[in-house]
Structure 1
Amino acid sequence: MVKKGLAIIKVLLTGVFSFVFFLVILLFLQGDWKEGRGPELFGWTSYTILSNSMQPTFSAGDVVIMKPVTSLKNQDVVTYMTPQRQFFTHRIIGSSQTDGQLVYETQGDNNQVPDEDTIVKEQVVGVHAFTIPYLGTVAAYIKQPIGYGTVIILPIFIWISLTLYEKYTKKRREDSCNENKII
């Protein structure tokens, strides 16, 4: 019974470790985390929400997945880049023509006033597709030494310990069987 339980734990830990390992590779080897931007795949990009300006739609620490821009309309949630290379994720609340160019007015759902500057389509880097709650918080935790140890090193240590224990008990059983056959 103990052997079966250990085997189940080992399989679960291997699965969890594999998932976390590939998630860490995906999140940290790609993307520009200084700007809150995650990896890009086929034009789809992730961004970590850094403030609560869009509550209750999403909160600081959530990761939003943005699909490529095809068209923009009122009430779309978009991530756009300012001339200062800052990213904001806000809702389009209106559009107008300024100097012969279509501009969009944006506002955070939790903000009382619209954003000071309007944006143009070329500034928009993605339209909201879906949200992964708390993933940004988890990613920030993993980047800390204690988080890295908890999420990466600890599972590896447990997996190695279980493997060594399994080999040790198997050898003991084989030795015990060999002693019983000799007698």
Structure 2
Amino acid sequence: MKQHIISVIKLLGIGIFSFLFFVVILFVLQGKDEYGRGPTFFGWSSYTILSNSMQPSFSSGDVVVMKPVEDIEVTVDDIITFMMPERRFVTHRVTDQYVEEGVTYYVTKGDNNNVTDEDPVVKEQIVGVHVFTIPKLGSLAQSIRQPIGYVLLIALPIAIYLLLTLYEIIRKRSNEKS
């Protein structure tokens, strides 16, 4: 029975270590871009929100996941991420749209802003439409990139794993001597 419990603890330790390793890799990738752009999977991309212009929908430090705009039609009330001419990403809500000379323009505004954005957005600027939000993941990723974050999420799990392995070796030797 005792052997079974130790095997389960070891398996849990390896599982937790593996999960933490995967999470650390994801966090380190998340928001690596200076503009908050994270990894892209199957065309879906993630962005770390850098301001509170969209409160209460989401806040600074949240991560938003965006579906590529080619897959869907953008409509009023959609939340989109678009690239500004200065190559900066902005995530705001579409408040209006109009067609001028065959080109569709989207008027955007942050939920927490009093006025709409100065320039309308064209479809070529839109990189994605909001699908879901992961609260505070971007803030957590930023913390992990600090030295203490690396220690807590990389060095500590490795140390725990090594200690569990060492304990099992010592216990196994003491059982063999008995």
The TM-score normalised by the length of structure 1 is 0.87
- Supply the distance in 2 between the matched residues of 1:28 and 1:91 (Cα, whole angstroms): 28
Percent sequence identity over matched residues? 56
Task: Assess, with a 3 A threshold, how the Cα gap between structure 1 residues 32 and 123 changes in structure 2: closer, same or farther.
Answer: farther
Equivalent residue, structure 2, for 1:158: 160
Asked whether the 8 Å contact 1:27–1:39 carries over to 2, the reply is no
Q: Does 15-24 or 160-169 show the bigger shift?
A: 15-24
Q: Which amino acid aligns with 1:161?
A: L
Task: Assess, with a 3 A threshold, how the Cα gap between structure 1 residues 133 and 13 changes in structure 2: closer, same or farther.
Answer: farther
Task: Assess, with a 3 A threshold, how the Cα gap between structure 1 residues 13 and 33 changes in structure 2: closer, same or farther.
Answer: farther
- Supply the distance in 1 between the matched residues of 2:175 and 2:159 (Cα, whole angstroms): 24
Equivalent residue, structure 1, for 2:123: 121
Offset at residue 133 of structure 1 (A): 1.2
Give the unaligned 5+ runs of structure 1: 177-183
Task: Assess, with a 3 A threshold, how the Cα gap between structure 1 residues 11 and 120 changes in structure 2: closer, same or farther.
Answer: same
| Aligned counterparts, 1:92-171, within 5 A | 92-171=94-173
SS of structure 2 residue aligned to 1:71: coil
Equivalent residue, structure 2, for 1:44: 44
Q: Does 157-166 or 26-35 show the bigger shift?
A: 26-35
- Cα root mean square deviation, aligned: 2.0
Offset at residue 84 of structure 1 (A): 0.5
Q: Which amino acid aligns with 1:63?
A: V
Equivalent residue, structure 2, for 1:179: none
Give the unaligned 5+ runs of structure 2: none
- Supply the distance in 1 between the matched residues of 2:86 and 2:41 (Cα, whole angstroms): 25
Q: Which amino acid aligns with 1:79?
A: T
SS of structure 2 residue aligned to 1:50: coil
The TM-score normalised by the length of structure 2 is 0.90
Highest Rg: 1 or 2?
1
Q: Deviations 1:85-142 (Å, cap 9, x if unpaired)?
A: 1001110000123454211110111111111111101100000011111111111111
Offset at residue 20 of structure 1 (A): 2.4
SS of structure 2 residue aligned to 1:128: strand
SS of structure 2 residue aligned to 1:34: coil
Asked whether the 8 Å contact 2:67–2:131 carries over to 1, the reply is yes
Q: Which amino acid aligns with 2:130?
A: H
- Supply the distance in 1 between the matched residues of 2:112 and 2:2 (Cα, whole angstroms): 53
SS of structure 2 residue aligned to 1:122: helix
Asked whether the 8 Å contact 1:31–1:40 carries over to 2, the reply is no
Asked whether the 8 Å contact 2:31–2:47 carries over to 1, the reply is no
Offset at residue 58 of structure 1 (A): 0.9
Give the 4+ runs in structure 1 shifted more than 6 A.
none
Task: Assess, with a 3 A threshold, how the Cα gap between structure 1 residues 120 and 23 changes in structure 2: closer, same or farther.
Answer: same
Offset at residue 34 of structure 1 (A): 1.4
Report which structure shows greater RCO (CA 8 Å, sep ≥6). 2
